A and B are shown apart, each in its own frame.
Chain A
Amino acid sequence: MTHLKIRKGHNIRIQGEPEKTILSTAQPSSVALKPVEFSYVKPKLLVDIGDHVQIGTPLFFDKLNPEIKWGSPGAGAVKAIQYGERRVIEKIEIELDKAEESIPLQPNIGSGISNIDRQTIIDTLYKASFWSHFRQRPFNKVVNPKGSAPSRIFVSVMNTAPLSVDLNLVLQGETTGYFSSGLTILSKLTDGKVHVCYHEDFGLNLETVSEKIESHLVSGPHPAGNIGIQIHHIDPLKPGEIIWTISAQSVIMLGKMFQTGKIDPVIIVSVGGPSVMNPAHYRTRLGVNIGSLIDGLLDVNDQHRIVDGDVLTGRKSSVDDFLGFYNSTVSVLPIDRSKPFLGWIQPGSTAKTYSLTRSFFGSGSKRLFRFSTRQNGTLKALVPINAWEDVLPMDILPNPLYRSILAGDIEEMEKLGILECDEEDFALCSFACPSKIDLGSVIRKGLDLMEIES
């Protein structure tokens, strides 16, 4: 075990912190998979409206890498396939059956999990169309199972993003066993190490699971929980290497799948934010309909924006929308369209202003803040007052990197370390920027340029 201390960063003190209890929700009537979420993928449908599918039945595949398929998050009839601009497949909606069936996998392996060989695991992952749970660095995209084997695998058992799921709450009782089995499976997928990062003990002695597992105690403010930051500090990506990452909840799903022979698409989702009346953790499932998840939870006095994901990296969403594949947080923010008289020179207070600079009164307060969707300013030219550098715990120079991306200088971008970056690690920079520049999306643009080039 090593101890990694992250110093730079910031935990945003936002109202509506989810309570540390897991509540159950009613079975949603439908779930969906959104192909548009997966970058660098050209989806091709495998089902049609009206088809009956089981949990794990492939719904579409990637035309660029036909071996990667995406399994259905539920069993039932395909209710709708929604297309967007230029016939992009936006979502595939499944109306759930009363009694759901998973596609049949290997018979129950049970305690024999440590004797299972790599090829059996890979065959099972193909059969279950489970590959989309694995993402790779660079580019943070779905892994290509036919590509080179991962140099190492990273799992983060800590979330530091605002209002995110407390994984220590999830990892209790039998789920810890599934998690442990999941890690055993992972250790067989790589010749290198499986790095597990956590911030608080969760009752599992990781070193005994497999000798390939290396555990890291990580402490510090957000984005310390981001896998990209952990990779950067523990064993950074080198050119030509591939690192796989998988979320802790997917590891649980993986372990359970191998132990029981069935796919169980259950996940724990946190619902929070200033507009949520009883923020908490909810036991629900992959691709759940957001409307059914937050039904009755919202403060009716507010006009609000529903965010699929956390408030820093999530997408604008609505009650008709479905939970994103990699998301386990739904945040709801009030919309505030007021125009305060001389708002930019107000002295500031703990109730009205929130800043990482000390330019308002009450800036250092511990009070939780009622954030809204206000941008607090308009897009301006970059004035570098170190707002980015102060919240980026990486040995990356954000300002030169930003300039090289704007210039489209691929060689320079690579030298400045863009392949180690992901937009989520730069979300706090965008939050703090006085010029209101969305650095995260610029980083994504740079990665897109690199991906086209490679």
Chain B
Amino acid sequence: MRFLKNLYERIRPEFEEGGKLTRLYPVFEMMDSITFWTNKETESGPHIRDSIDLKRTMILVVIALIPATLFGILNAGYQESIVMGFERGWLTNFWVGLKLFIPILVVSYTVGGFWEMLFAVIRKHEVDEGYLVTGLLIPLIMPVTIPLWQVAVATTFGVVIGKMIFGGTGMNIFNPALVTRAFIFFAYPTQISGDKVWIKAVDGFSGATPLAIPAAAIGENAVDLLEKVQQFDYSWWNMFMGWIPGSLGETSAVMILVGALFLAFTKIGSWRIMIGSVVGLLITSLMTNYFSGYSTNTMLSLPPHYHLVMGGFLFGTVFMATDPVSGTYTDRGRWIYGFFIGMLTVVIRAINPAYPEGTMLAILLMNAFSPLIDYFVVQGNIKKRMARYAK
């Protein structure tokens, strides 16, 4: 590594004040700090500091995503093999899945990374770490069949409109990865509406996602309908394990729970948001179950534990609702914020006939409301203090 270190030291003057490439200093700083971190000393405040920094925080979320990612790659190949009727081994399935996943990942990191660097150079600040996570989240919430140019356009929208115009990492109101997905959702609905399965297969193949099946039926029992599906195995256990078609990272509840435990254990992700959201989902779906007898809406009869493992709920809750920047920043607020995400997910799924999946919209909506939730929590704190002062 000495060679690389020496190389950096040799070219450093070119990028520093007075050099020929001063404008590109953020790019140089990024390369330097990725390879050799930083040796910055403390200047103001405590003379010693915790070993964690933002790069570490972000890479831990990436690590938490690895189980779901690996499973998603394998599952993408597996789903193709089922539909095509192939008998093939795990390795082949993984390889096939990898060939579907890598191009989307490369496009996401290249396009997003380009915008990050461009804005850092223009604004003369260090390149932010936030995109480490966003860049991986984007392919994980896309169908494998998505055209790459759409990924590029949507990523641009997500990064520039979703994050950069607010001032970059730490300033954004909405989760940039979800903005990316929402852009595709509304701009190119044929590819990503959420009712048809996304499997790389022969032309003309079509099937319904588990959420779309009860959404399309009237006056039936959701579980019975799912059990009757021949094309895929939509039993609860299989959906919990994740061997079903869906966006790349979202299908396996098990793998997402592994990531959730990791995030909560390392104290990077807020367990309050995760628990709050699951509680919101369970309570609301119990209520819809109660009212299902009075309505012909089949979705109302979907039981809580099915809601939990279907669609993108767990993935969204664990990896996107917990985004500390776009979520609430008070502990009490985090409970409320989580609860409403779970609740709105069920409400959108069950009551809105146009969208069989509600997690994305629920999180985006709550992103918009999180400052309001925090406002009330802060007012509560102030009121308590004022009452104490008045004594």
Question: In the complex where A354-B51, A359-B60 touch, is A427 in contact with B45 (Cβ < 8 A)?
Answer: yes
Smallest CB gap from B40: residue in A: A375
A348 contacts the other chain (CB 8 A): yes
From B45, B54, B267, B384, contact of A395 by CB (8 A): B384
Question: In the complex where A381-B169, A386-B267 touch, is A416 in contact with B378 (Cβ < 8 A)?
Answer: yes
Query: Which residues in A have their C-beta under 8 angstroms from that of B56?
Result: 344-345, 359, 377, 434
Query: Which residues in A have their C-beta under 8 angstroms from that of B1?
Result: 341
Cβ contact within 8 Å between B53 and A344: yes
How far, in angstroms, from A434 to B50 measured CA to CA in the complex? 8
- Interface hits, B319-373 → A, CB 8 Å: 324-325, 329-331
Closest Cβ of chain A to B170, distance in Å, is: 3
Cβ contact within 8 Å between B266 and A358: yes
How far, in angstroms, from A171 to B168 measured CA to CA in the complex? 54
Cβ contact within 8 Å between A374 and B329: no
Segment at the interface with B among A116-124, A195-203, A311-319: A311-319
Query: Number of A interface residues, CB 8 Å?
Result: 73
Q: How many of chain B's residues touch chain A, expressed as a range?
A: 35 or more
A25 contacts the other chain (CB 8 A): no
Query: Which residues in B have their C-beta under 8 angstroms from that of A342?
Result: 34-37
- Interface hits, A302-356 → B, CB 8 Å: 305, 307, 311-314, 316, 331, 333, 335-345, 348, 352-356
Closest Cβ of chain B to A126, distance in Å, is: 33
Query: Which residues in B have their C-beta under 8 angstroms from that of A220?
Result: none
A360 contacts the other chain (CB 8 A): yes
How far, in angstroms, from A389 to B49 measured CA to CA in the complex? 16
Question: In the complex where A375-B40, A381-B170, A397-B381 touch, is A357 in contact with B45 (Cβ < 8 A)?
Answer: no
How far, in angstroms, from A428 to B331 measured CA to CA in the complex? 19
Max chain A Cβ within 10 angstroms of own Cβ: one of B5, B53, B377: B53
12 more A-B residue pairs beyond the given contacts A377-B55, A395-B381, with a C-beta to C-beta distance below 8 A: A236-B388, A316-B47, A344-B34, A374-B41, A380-B129, A380-B169, A380-B170, A383-B325, A384-B324, A385-B268, A397-B330, A397-B378
7 A-B pairs with least C-beta separation: A377-B53, A381-B170, A343-B37, A438-B45, A339-B36, A353-B51, A371-B48
A to B CB contacts below 8 Å, 30 in the list: A239-B389, A305-B47, A312-B48, A339-B38, A340-B36, A342-B36, A342-B37, A352-B51, A359-B52, A359-B57, A372-B48, A376-B52, A378-B38, A378-B40, A380-B54, A380-B126, A381-B128, A381-B167, A384-B329, A385-B324, A386-B267, A386-B324, A387-B50, A400-B381, A427-B46, A433-B50, A434-B57, A436-B49, A440-B46, A441-B44
* Chain B contacts to A: CB under 8 angstroms: 1, 5, 33-57, 59-60, 126, 128-130, 167-171, 265-268, 270, 324-325, 329-331, 374, 377-378, 381-382, 384-386, 388-389
